[in-house]
Amino acid sequence: MDADYIVVGAGSAGCAMAYRLAEAGRSVVVVEHGGWDGGPFINMPGALSYPMNMPIYDWGYRTEPEPHLGGRRLAAPRGKVLGGSSSINGMVYVRGHAMDYDTWRDMGADGWGYADVLPYFRRMETSHGGQDGWRGNDGPLHVSRGPRDNPLTRAFVEAGRQAGYGTTDDYNGEKQEGFGPMEATIHRGERWSAAKAYLRPAQKLGARVVRGLVTRVVIEEGRARGVEVVNGDSRETLRAGEVILSASAFNTPKLLMLSGIGPAAHLAEHGIDVVADRPGVGANLQDHLELYIQMAATQPVSLFRYWNLLGKAYVGARWLFSRTGPGASNQFESAAFIRSRAGVAYPDIQYHFLPIAVRYDGQAAAEGHGFQAHVGPMRSASRGRVRLTSSDPAAPPSILFNYMSDPQDWEDFRTCIRLTREIFAQPAFAPYAGHEIQPGADAQDDAALDAFVREHAESAYHPCGTARMGRRDDPDAVVDPEGRVIGVEGLRVADSSVFPRITNGNLNAPSILTGEKMADHVLGRRLAPENAEPWVHPDWRTAQR
């Protein structure tokens, strides 16, 4: 054998998995198709819009035409680089709500309730400024807060308070609900990716990184024995005692299907011999969809002052020489989690606040100075799927999120827009708020808001669910609660594919958690559950705020 374990994908979960296995004295090979993560565009937090739009770092996937979004094909980036998507993401750190994990447990992911995952969140973190007792202080992953120097970031929290919402000093602690500071995987002014937190230490403990494209899992007599890897003209088979797929919510189901594990009829269409008929492979695809509600600013207080050649040169040079200034922050420094209506037990709307009016692709609003809130519902009932386009491993998968296919989605987005307008109309924003850039003052009735959603909603880049955990007798489950692929020995999945349902907020933290916890399942151990009681609004049944 080449190793005790082969981990496919050096992303958020894969790096954590490799480190914990190596730390336990096991031999580990990590196979990653992407390359070096050392470039300034990756390491400078303020440059976050660049790497996710660079083919050298991103798989470059796009969705199929989305039928409920006017046939638009949306970008679906995933990291193709050491650190995976933790090297190209927005660095926002959100654990998810406690009740998300209790829901996983209730859906059949036994041992994944909040009491079970909290000790793993604490083990993985070094929290800078988080709530004592709820947060970790000696883990590999540094989690910090931005300086919040910009008056707009403070105005957002104050406006939320003025609108009648609560505040929270740590949404990753006891109380998620409310307005407060946002957290990020940034350390000493640099992106703190899973590669830095976990992969480098794993390599020091003997883990090896192999470059190449994994084309399939080698399965002999019902057991995974290794993987086939192509690098340029060379093709080799790496063998191990166990194979762990951590290749993303797109590439993990693709690899399972290429290896004969998936919906039998679909595999037959592509001439692939069926090893295990698992209809859940590639199904249950979920994401967060979001809008940018943009306002013009009446004062020159936004980051637009740097949105020119001279400004960018200043930001870049300052960061390069001192790791300080605007380039040392992802600029998502204020956040909120609120409930859309009475009767919802825990937050179902997330806000990222940004003190400039731009898009993820870096296009600034023509108006100049401005600010925006990224807002979207957290728990859409819409479900999509990932399918093969070909039996050729180099072919991209077919990705259809089927966004907005559930009627409730439309009502939820209208609510998001109207609640955001109310927040921006509070006295805290009076010194700064000009006209509404988008949707624009004319968009008021349901039809106008729906048209805006159809044209402008964007993915928040949180795909998950395509190889979901469940009990072994659940026909739609792909893996059991220990990550073992049902129907094949010696094969596990550890990434966001296994999520039964999407969690609140950004998915990097839950993905790293998955690698951490699955590593303990591989090693036959577990941390003792912690019965911490999270805050729930006492009047949630009758009050929205």
Provide φ and ψ at 258, rounded to 5°: -60, -25
Helix (H, G, I), strand (E, B) or coil at 335: strand
Confidence at 1, pLDDT banded by 50, 70, 90 = confident
Among residues 456, 486, 521, which one ends one of the domains?
456
Burial class (CB in 10 A: 0-12, 13-18, 19+), 278: buried
Decide if 74 is inside a domain.
yes
Confidence at 379, pLDDT banded by 50, 70, 90 = very high
Distance CA 498, CA 481 (A): 9
Is 367 a residue whose pLDDT tops 90? no
Global model pTM greater than 0.85: yes
Determine whether the annotation assigns residue 81 to a binding site.
Answer: yes
Q: Kindly state whether residues 431 and 483 are assigned to the same domain.
A: no
**Mean pLDDT for all residues in the chain:** 96
Q: Kindly state whether residues 195 and 339 are assigned to the same domain.
A: no
> Which pLDDT value is given to residue 228?
98
Determine whether the annotation assigns residue 91 to a binding site.
Answer: yes
Residue 279 burial (CB count, 10 A): 14
Decide if 385 is inside a domain.
no
CATH code of the domain containing 195: 3.50.50.60
Decide if 110 is inside a domain.
yes
Q: Kindly state whether residues 269 and 296 are assigned to the same domain.
A: no
Q: Kindly state whether residues 263 and 335 are assigned to the same domain.
A: no
Residues 277-332: tens digit of each pLDDT: 999 999 999 999 999 999 999 999 999 988 888 999 999 999 999 999 999 999 99
> Which pLDDT value is given to residue 425?
98
Q: Kindly state whether residues 471 and 452 are assigned to the same domain.
A: no
Single-letter code of the amino acid located at 508: N
Region 324-353: mean pLDDT is: 97
Residues 85-122: tens digit of each pLDDT: 999 999 999 999 999 999 999 999 999 999 999 999 99
Q: Kindly state whether residues 196 and 252 are assigned to the same domain.
A: yes
ω into 439 cis (within 30 of 0) = yes
Determine whether the annotation assigns residue 281 to a binding site.
Answer: no
Among residues 456, 481, 515, which one ends one of the domains?
456
Decide if 397 is inside a domain.
no
Q: Kindly state whether residues 166 and 257 are assigned to the same domain.
A: no
Among residues 422, 456, 490, which one ends one of the domains?
456
Is 361 a residue whose pLDDT tops 80? no
> Which pLDDT value is given to residue 308?
86
Confidence at 163, pLDDT banded by 50, 70, 90 = very high
**Selected catalytic residue, list 187, 369, 462, 537:** 462
Distance CA 454, CA 414 (A): 12
Count the domains in the chain.
2
Q: Which two tokens stand for residue 145?
A: 């807060």
Number of H helices, E strands in the chain: 13, 23
Decide if 396 is inside a domain.
no
CATH code of the domain containing 361: 3.30.410.40
Q: Kindly state whether residues 17 and 54 are assigned to the same domain.
A: yes
> Which pLDDT value is given to residue 52?
86
Is 368 a residue whose pLDDT tops 90? no
Provide φ and ψ at 83, rounded to 5°: 95, -15
- Cα–Cα–Cα angle for 72, 74, 75, nearest 5°? 155
462 is catalytic: yes
Q: Kindly state whether residues 410 and 497 are assigned to the same domain.
A: no
Q: Which residues pair with 186 in a beta bridge?
A: 191
The count of C-alpha atoms lying within 13 angstroms of the C-alpha of 503, restricted to the half-sphere facing its C-beta, is 31
Distance CA 429, CA 439 (A): 18
Confidence at 365, pLDDT banded by 50, 70, 90 = low
Decide if 191 is inside a domain.
yes
Is 359 a residue whose pLDDT tops 80? no
Q: Kindly state whether residues 233 and 99 are assigned to the same domain.
A: yes
Q: Kindly state whether residues 168 and 297 are assigned to the same domain.
A: yes
Determine whether the annotation assigns residue 386 to a binding site.
Answer: no
Domain containing 85: what range? Answer: 1-144+184-285+463-533
Q: Kindly state whether residues 46 and 32 are assigned to the same domain.
A: yes
Residues 182-236: tens digit of each pLDDT: 999 999 999 999 999 999 999 999 999 999 999 999 999 999 999 999 999 999 9
> Which pLDDT value is given to residue 53?
86
Region 340-355: mean pLDDT is: 97
8-state DSSP, 305 = G
